[in-house]
Structure 1
């Protein structure tokens, strides 16, 4: 068997770890960090939870729509193209937002910068790039990537809370943006490549998208991911405010949120072997239910139940991210994998934008987080049910087809 090495210039696991660091800085810069900033911004500027939730939701929507573009850039040009956008526009606009004095200016700059960061640095980019670096062991590459990425929450939540308490929310936001830029730059050096290595990207991307969406199995998968995206996004952005509403200090709430992120690691350890034995769908459905149970514990508003939430939801959410990528990869053509994973990213991104907006409105209208928590739990159960009727349980340990190329 001859392996095409045209685009695999570095095949060590260093590249995958570098992509894991990119994942940490991209997600941490706003997907995790913004939830800690909500209360301080609200208290100092008087901007409502709904307005801040709308900013976050727009960022998620931009990230989702931009995922098509980010994935297409990866397929055709490799990692340097999307990561250049991340460093220049994503991190740059987020940094500029923290000098704003009005909610409109802040929302415009922050949502755009965060959305670009998500479109060019989230898992739909890094999982594809990791799998392509190791075409004979793609699931192992994804598993390693997501184990590294699981350190994002335990690092960023307590770090952001500590920075806010000592430096204020503006300086904290600038530091988070600078780390996102640094993460993109190091990945451009250590994890180059990322283009399709088995076949050329489709010359007609819209046709590739249409054919994929016509597949009923893909449609049900995307609907399940949409519900999960709404739930997870709302959980991440509001977990710290929910915990502080239960009586915890912002520092303690940040630690509890960080513990949830740390527990994601346990949801990803040994995942490749578990998939070979049980299949992705069975494990993914179990992960959704475990996450729903963990979120429901936040209804009790105490430190012990907060810790229990961290463990259960951490394991469930931690397992669901790589499992979703593994299952989606088996449904998409390799040549357009970046584009089609962008389809998944777009669906999840748009849903992830809607979830926090609805969650914020529910809180502002009722002055309690209970309706928001019920919405999250319902969405996770719905994700489980959407995968129930899939016709076949896939085991994603696939034998890749390697295309030979005469150089």
Structure 2
């Protein structure tokens, strides 16, 4: 793609960053729509839009066209990915079944990169990147469009909640901003590790194949962390479990510069960090629904998604700058500090964890 479009890697990466940012900007509007109308129509339309955008991607001839397509992909992502799916699940399942439903979705989705990264590489090697995108677009549309159209229920009776009042009250209270701080900082840390871990392990002296293989554990370990978190919810609060997971991630970031030059040390550090890699994804909807109820869940989730998505997009760029100026140990220190701040924010949230009247 870089060769065909006469573009550098930074330009291509910028297109993906644009898609992520557009998704975050669209999230509040998408959330309000989901609260009012449910997910069937929106997610079906988003699947159609996503399939067409990937198909259009296969035909781009310039960097400008690529950026335009990625902007459309960002809108489609906001309509069909985790935030929208969680809004449907929260509205669909009662509190006793919600945790298992969220777990089921995130466990399956947790293997997406493990499946589609090698599959995409295989298709590119076999057919080239343009034809690979055509195949992926067709496969996505043929599965996702009918599933959303036929399997997602319409929202038959939205709860009688003044959503604007619920959102406004949440934005004025400390616990909401503690949640925002917790998930913003941890998302930034996870994003940095996801982007820079392979490069860092190579800088520590490991072979590229080993570095890539160890970093690949993050996807599998994210599923493990979600299973552990869901299993412990009967004994401890979600906020405290998640705080512990974030704290373990911070410890891993501290240990990697100290022990990461050895094979065992690198694996141990990645395993510890990986256990919390996907916990934020499953904890955020659970905490929001428990405190604020389901009537305005998607609107609140959309409000949180905007800064969190921005952190996801910007944090790796900042970390790359820190690495150039101060080295990777400084990056690991920043990651550890972010995880610690996330853990402390959740502990403070737990102390204020009393459901609002709308959730009762």
TM-score band by shorter chain is 0.7 to 0.9
Distance 2:213 2:53 in 1: 28
Indicate conservation of the 8 Å contact 2:185/2:342, yes or no. yes
**Among candidates 53, 57, 66, match of residue 17 of structure 2:** 57
Residue 247 of structure 1, CA deviation: 5.2
- CA gap of 1:55–1:294, structure 2 versus 1, over 3 A, is farther
Q: Do structure 1's residue 222 and structure 2's residue 180 form an aligned pair?
A: yes
1:114 aligns with 2:76: no
Offset from partner CA, 1:58-111 (integer Å, 9 cap, x none): 22221112112222232222222322342233332244234434433323322x
Secondary structure of 1:276's match? coil
**Residues 233 and 355, structure 1, Cα contact 8 Å, conserved in 2:** yes
- Give the deviation of 1:213 after TM superposition: 0.6
Give the CA RMSD over aligned residues.
Answer: 3.5
1:362, distance to aligned residue in structure 2 (A)? 4.2
Return closer, same or farther for 1:315/1:213 CA change in 2, 3 Å cut-off. same
**Distance in 2 between residues matched to 1:126 and 1:143, nearest whole Å:** 12
Structure 1 residue aligned with 2:116: 156
Quote how far apart the aligned CAs of 1:44 are: 8.8
Q: Matches of 2:64 and 2:269 in 1, distance apart?
A: 35
CA–CA separation in structure 1 for the residues paired with 2:229 and 2:354:
12
Task: Tell me if the contact between 1:240 and 1:254 (Cα under 8 Å) persists in the aligned partners.
Answer: yes
Structure 1 alignment gaps of length 5 or more: 1-39, 402-407
Query: Of residues 339, 345, 359 in structure 2, which corresponds to 1:386?
Result: 345
Task: Identify which of 235, 248, 255 aligns with 1:277.
Answer: 235
Q: CA deviation at 1:376?
A: 3.0
Tell me whether 1:103 sits opposite 2:63 in the alignment. yes
Aligned CA distance change for structure 1 residues 59 and 263 (closer, same or farther; 3 Å): same
More off after superposition, 350-359 vs 180-189: 180-189
Q: Give the superposition deviation at 1:217.
A: 0.5
Q: Is the 8 A contact 2:256 2:266 kept in 1?
A: yes
State the distance in 2 between where 1:171 and 1:297 align: 43
Residue matched to 2:301: 341
Cα drift, residue 190 of structure 1: 4.8
Counterpart-to-counterpart distance in 1, 2:139 and 2:333: 34
Match in the other structure for 1:352: 312
1:328 CA displacement: 1.7
Q: TM-score, normalised by structure 2?
A: 0.81
User: What's the TM-score once normalised by structure 1's chain length?
Assistant: 0.73
Following TM superposition, by how much is the alpha carbon of 1:316 offset from its aligned partner in structure 2, in angstroms?
1.0
Counterpart-to-counterpart distance in 1, 2:74 and 2:264? 35
Q: Deviations over 1:157-184 (max 9, x none)?
A: 4334444555555545555554543453
Given that residues 198 and 208 in structure 2 are in contact (C-alpha distance below 8 angstroms), is that contact kept between their aligned partners in structure 1? no
User: Following the alignment from structure 1 to structure 2, what is the Cα–Cα distance between the partners of residues 323 and 239?
Assistant: 24
Contact 2:247 2:339 in 1 (8 A): yes
Matched, 1:47 2:8: yes
- CA-CA distance at 1:352 after TM superposition: 1.4
Report the 3-state secondary structure (helix = DSSP H, G, I; strand = E; otherwise coil) of the residue aligned with 2:349.
coil
Paired residue for 1:11?
none
Q: Please give the per-residue CA displacement for 1:342-380, whole angstroms capped at 9, x wherever unaligned.
A: 2222231122122133234445x4596555444333322
Partner of 1:81: 41
Partner of 1:128: 87
Deviations 1:282-304 (CA, angstroms, capped at 9, x unpaired):
11111112233445566546765
Whether 2:289 is the aligned partner of 1:329: answer yes
Residue 49 of structure 2 is aligned to residue 92 of structure 1: no
| Equivalent position SS for 1:334 | coil
- In the TM superposition, residue 235 of structure 1 has moved relative to its aligned partner by 2.8
The answer to whether residue 167 in structure 2 is matched with residue 233 in structure 1 is no
Secondary structure of the corresponding residue to residue 225 of structure 1: helix
Asked if 1:268 is matched to 2:226, the reply is yes
Deviation at 1:42, TM superposition (A): 8.6
* Structure 2 Cα separation of the partners of residues 61 and 141 of structure 1: 28
| Aligned mates of 1:376, 1:56 — CA distance in 2 | 22
- Is the CA contact 1:292–1:381 (under 8 Å) kept in the aligned structure 2? yes
> How many pairs were matched up?
353
**Partners of 1:82 and 1:360 in 2: CA distance:** 37
